[in-house]
Amino acid sequence: MQDLNEYKQSIIQRGNLPRHVAIIMDGNGRWAKSQGKARVSGHREGVNSVRVITELAGELGLKVLTLYTFSSENWKRPRMEVSALMNLLLDTINREVEDLDRNNVQLSIIGDLSSLPAAPRKGMQVAMDRLRKNTGLILNLALSYGSRQEILSAVQALAREVQQGNIEPEAIDHALFSRFLYTADLPDPDLLIRTSGEFRLSNFLLYQLAYTEIYVSPVLWPAFRECQFLDAIQAYQSRERRFGKVSEQIKT
């Protein structure tokens, strides 16, 4: 079996690394059930995967790592589970911010941060402020995030600008529209990873994923670690991204 460090170095040497990797972290509940544990145990173990993958993404020199942390639909889950998730979110950011700062990681959030309870909302803001000047990996957490609502909000904001005479309808193009999305300051994802073997987008970055390469892993998120992440990067490196062109156009 190839040594993990050798595997990582071969990935780096091969080049053609994605700038932005987005992950739908799926399977925490199923992992816990398979272990005979409560669902929250799966979420706790999933945090360990977040730590490992974030560190590895920085070592690989990726620019952005976006993690689908809590969707707008997740508020519909049982109240006790949502409460446990919010407490885990606060505990995790308080515990990890020191290492994130030491590793030059910047923290950003997309979604409706205002809908979070006061304590985790304040904790996330404090962490973002502390890490704001860092220049390494951008760890981008999708919190209380839903892509359809993001798109609707962007359309509404653009409509107001048009109504006020600040923008001509004919001036609205992809670049302008993107400036009204939560991800305005980020490049679109090059690679989307979904764990647990599910083949759906789950209302995640629907506009931004238009030309993103998709990799589905059968591994449940709490068991998704370095080798699985490197496998996904290697699969990305072997693909030809044509963006509507033909192979001959890409190679010239």
pLDDT 10s digits, 135-176: 999 999 999 999 999 999 999 999 999 999 999 999 999 999
pLDDT at 2: 64
Tell me which DSSP letter residue 63 carries.
S
Average pLDDT, the chain: 95
Architecture in CATH of 4-146+189-240+247-251? 3-Layer(aba) Sandwich (3.40)
Q: What pLDDT score was predicted for residue 241?
A: 72
Closest CA to 224 of 234, 232, 214: 232
Within the chain, strands assigned E span 20-24, 64-71, 106-110, 138-145, 191-194, 213-216
The region that residue 26 occupies, defined by phi over 0 for left and psi between -120 and 50 for alpha, beta otherwise, is: beta
Q: Distance between CA 241 and CA 35 in Å, rounded?
A: 39
In the chain, the percentage of residues whose pLDDT exceeds 70 is 95
Q: State the amino acid at position 171 in one-letter form.
A: A
- 74 catalytic per annotation: yes
Say what the pTM is: 0.94
From the candidates 26, 140, 188, 190, give the one annotated as an active-site residue.
26
Per-residue pLDDT of 23-58, as tens digits, reads 999 999 999 999 999 999 999 999 999 999 999 999
- Provide the residue ranges of all domains of the chain, joining segments of one domain with +: 4-146+189-240+247-251
Which member of 5, 16, 74, 91 is catalytic? Answer: 74
The proportion of the chain whose per-residue pLDDT surpasses 90, expressed as a percent, equals 94
- Coil, strand or helix: which one is 205? coil
Q: Is the pLDDT of residue 80 over 60?
A: yes
203 is catalytic: no
Q: Which two tokens stand for residue 6?
A: 């050798």
**What was the pLDDT predicted at 245?**
55
Closest listed residue to residue 139, CA positions, set 36, 23, 3, 2: 23
